[in-house]
Structure 1
Amino acid sequence: MASSSATGDKTVNKVALCSAIFAGFAYVGYSVVRTAFCRKLGRKEGEVYPEEHRIYFRRLSQTTQTDVLLGNLDLSGPAGKVVLRPLTVQERIRELNLRARMFTDTMLAVQGNLGPGSPKQTPLPGTTSLQCSPWGSPRILSPVDVRHILASRSSENLVLLGSPVKRRWTRRSFRRQSPHSSNSQSVSSHESTTEAEAEKLLRDTQDQLKSHLESLSRRDRVMTAAEAKSLVALLHSKDDLLVERTLTTIANCSTFAANQDILREAGCLYRLQTLLTSSSVSIQLATIKALGNLALNEGNQKELKDTVPVLLSFVNKPQPTDKLVYHALVTLTNIAVLPAWHDEFYPVLHNLYRLVDDGKPQMKLQALKLLINLSCNEDMVPSLLAAQAPRRLIYMLDPLLNEELLLRVVTLVAKLAETARRLNIDPTIDLPPEDKAASPDTMYAAIFGVNIMEKIQSKSFVLMNQHLNEDIRIQARKIYESVKS
């Protein structure tokens, strides 16, 4: 009976080892096979061998040829026994889920660049949750995608996987949609608190505030938060000369990027917006100059929504001095570098084109710079094409025109012509009647009109072949190719 039991054990061991060998997994090596199989066959009776350990193999119940066999060493069992121990389906699924979750965490870290010290990135769609649902599951990169990521030196160029989406132009009404939404009540409360603190600071420590002004006006430098608050407090003074001097100091110090943030946090932008409506032209001019430098900051631009219409009023209405209009155009040009408040510019497009026609050379140049910034936004192009064009546009494409003016003219026309052709824009169809000038007077007709296209093409051909300025030649070629097509 004992002999029969021993023979049965050997048979079981041989079947287990053969299964492991045919599965081809590294967990059962040749050494294990030789130890468990060969030594038992060659053992002689009476010989004493060192104690051997029992080896357990775990496998998923109802395995196939691809099931995993895992070796587990048990020091407590009798020697020389190789036992096949199946793993239940529930246990195996739990183990696979655990490994999948670990792999998920690693991949999401790679996709989102969330390692220690790494800049925070916006997670990819579908990776915000690790929980599976009946409608979807976490999106994980494949090994091929991982190799692409690891081979890249920069995480800033990571893009969504899949085929790129071609942007299709659709007319969008900015006037009905605000790019930034905020809680107006909380903003008003914060501004009121800042104003009260500044006025109290001016009453209590006016002499100290003036000493800060003297220090900053003698040498432009990065200021402290206390100095920024002192400048804002001085803007509440009733002395116009003191306020004007403070504004000049703010404009000079705003050339430092760090000061732009510090002044915003001190409540400077809200006070400058109030001073724009001052009865003193000199204070208005100094305020516009200060805003022009502060506008070169993305954080500051987010708080300029209510300031832009006031600045545009200087362009839309006759002003007591051309300096106000010119510096308002400079500040608006700086604001228009970003598209955040482009929707506010619709009412002045006709007047900007009018300044290109009738303004002084300096005014023409600045109006063209502002129009070029607006034309870089594809959503503004239909309205720019529908606005009333400069009457002398065709005559401004002249090689003898001032080089700076000519460069801006050909740049504006090239940008509008290229975008109109590429996106197939026709403002006579795309825009409602109230948003466009009379058909023969539009910028679109001034470029693509039946009797105008040949003249535009001819003048741009001369410029692209004969002008000495390379930039002008490049832009003229873009006009020629867009109109010719």
Structure 2
Amino acid sequence: MEEDSSPPVSTHTMDVDALQKLIHLLQATDDPLIQEQALITLSNSAAFSVNQDVIRNLDGLSVIGGMLSNCVPKVKEKALNALNNLSMNIKNQEEIQVFITQVCRTVESAPLNSDVQLAGLRLLTNMSVTSDYHQKMINSIPCFLHLLSEGTERTQIQVLKVLVNLSANPAMTVHLLRAQVPSMVLLFDSCVNRDILVRALVFAANLKKNMNDEEGIVIEEYNEDSVFFTLCRDSAPFAQRLASLLHHPDTEVKEQVVRILTQ
């Protein structure tokens, strides 16, 4: 499973009083510059596990989550970054999950390839490591596939981390196979960025495995632009590309190709 965390800027840990003052400051001010700096400091402190419980116990998660409604993109981005670091903690995830739908909407509405969009995808990556909250992301699967098709390499890598996590859950298989992504087959090429290629192959391999394990998948449900058609129904172009990738110099690429071919 994929996880994402932002590295701390310093190794400085803060005491409870300092964290509480920051959280209170965040609640009290309407100044976006102060909000941004407070969120950056909280995000850095949240990179340390000892502070993750403290911030939760100080009701910091709901305060930071409230910043997701802020109309200033920089503030929203920094709030997402802070929640991302805080989401490395399982108990924190239980509280952060109430914001998943809002984070998905933020990813969908943010400018393509923007820092806000990437920050949202990083948080969704962590929140999708286990299958506990996958159901909350179902409605955003078409958006994820759109970003895979239209985004820059950085966006593609980030959204593939989410898609790989979702594809590991058999309950998500039909939702993912039904989603439309024109020209998805183009991702399976030796010229594609290795980090994209490997994740695209893992995504395909997971879905293939789930399909073999599950019975009763109704193929009539899928149209020609669907993931299903790319991987299964109209599989000749996909099979040709897989055969070519067997000669790829990267071991992990070849391993995933073999995994798909032997499903």
Distance of 1:220 and 1:249 partners within structure 2 = 12
Q: Of residues 104, 120, 143 in structure 2, which corresponds to 1:312?
A: 104
| Structure 1 contact 251–291 (Cα < 8 Å) conserved | yes
TM-aligned CA distance change 1:273 to 1:376, over 3 Å: same
Match of 1:400 in 2: 191
Determine which of 247, 257, 260 is the counterpart of 1:479.
260
Match of 1:446 in 2: 230
CA contact (8 A) 2:80 2:123 kept: yes
Structure 2: gaps spanning 5 or more residues? 1-7
Q: What is the alpha-carbon distance in structure 2 between the residues aligned to residue 297 and residue 218 of structure 1? A: 19
1:444/1:250 CA distance change after superposition, 3 Å: same
What is the CA deviation profile of residues 199-230 of structure 1, one whole-angstrom value per residue up to 9, with x for unaligned ones?
Answer: xxxxxxxxxxxxxxxxxx99543333323212
Say yes or no: does 1:461 pair with 2:252: no
> In 2, are the aligned partners of 1:342 and 1:374 still within 8 Å (CA)?
yes
> Match of 2:142?
350
> Greater shift after overlay, 225-234 or 372-381?
225-234
Question: What are the superposed Cα offsets for residues 89-122 of structure 1, whole Å, 9 maximum, x if unpaired?
Answer: xxxxxxxxxxxxxxxxxxxxxxxxxxxxxxxxxx
CA contact (8 A) 2:77 2:119 kept: yes
- Cα separation, 1, equivalents of 2:120 and 2:187: 24
Task: Give the AA of the match of 1:352.
Answer: F
Match of residue 271 from structure 1: 63
Question: After superposition, where does 1:327-476 map in structure 2 within 5 Å?
Answer: 327-388=119-180, 390-424=181-215, 426-428=217-219, 438-449=222-233, 452-464=234-246, 466-476=247-257
Question: Which amino acid letter does the alignment assign opposite residue 27 of structure 2?
Answer: H
Query: Larger relative contact order (C-alpha < 8 A, sep ≥ 6)?
Result: 2
Secondary structure of 1:439's counterpart equals: coil
Which protein is richer in helix relative to its size? 2
Q: Which residue of 2 aligns with 1:99?
A: none
Give the conservation status (yes or no) of the 8 Å contact 1:382–1:425. no
Query: Deviation digits for residues 373-404 of structure 1, max 9, x if unmatched?
Result: 1111121122111222x211212211121111
Contact 2:10 2:44 in 1 (8 A): no
Q: Could you tell me which residue of structure 2 aligns to residue 286 of structure 1?
A: 78
State the shift of 1:427 in Å: 4.7
Normalized against structure 2, the TM-score is what?
0.90
Q: 1:427 to 1:278 in 2, by over 3 A?
A: farther
RMSD: 2.0
Distance 1:228 1:395, change over 3 A: same
Give the structure 2 partner of residue 30 of structure 1.
none
The letter of the residue matching 1:477 is V
1:275-302 CA-to-partner distances (Å, cap 9, x unmatched) read 1101222211111111111111100000
Distance 1:241 1:318, change over 3 A: closer
Over alpha carbons, which structure has the higher Rg?
Answer: 1
Q: Do the aligned residues in 1 keep the contact of 2:113 with 2:151 (CA within 8 Å)? A: no
User: Does 2:21 match 1:230?
Assistant: yes
TM-score by length of 1: 0.50
User: What are the residue-to-residue correspondences of 1:94-173 with 2, within 5 Å?
Assistant: none
Q: Summarize deviations over 1:123-151 as a string: whole Å, max 9, x none.
A: xxxxxxxxxxxxxxxxxxxxxxxxxxxxx
> Relative to structure 1, is the Cα distance of residues 425 and 293 closer, same or farther in structure 2, using a 3 angstrom cutoff?
farther
Q: 1:299 aligns with which of 91, 115, 118?
A: 91
Partner amino acid, structure 1, of 2:240: S
In structure 1, C-alpha distance between the alignment counterparts of 2:216 and 2:162, rounded to whole Å: 21
In structure 1, the gaps of 5 or more residues are 1-216, 430-435
- Corresponding residue pairs, total: 255
CA distance in 1, matches of 2:135, 2:59: 25
CA contact (8 A) 1:385 1:427 kept: no
C-alpha separation in 2, matches of 1:468 and 1:277: 46
Q: Aligned letter for 1:379? A: A
With over 3 angstroms needed to count, the CA separation of the structure-2 counterparts of 1:472 and 1:240, relative to structure 1, is same
Asked if the contact 1:221–1:256 (Cα under 8 Å) also holds between the matched residues in 2, the reply is no
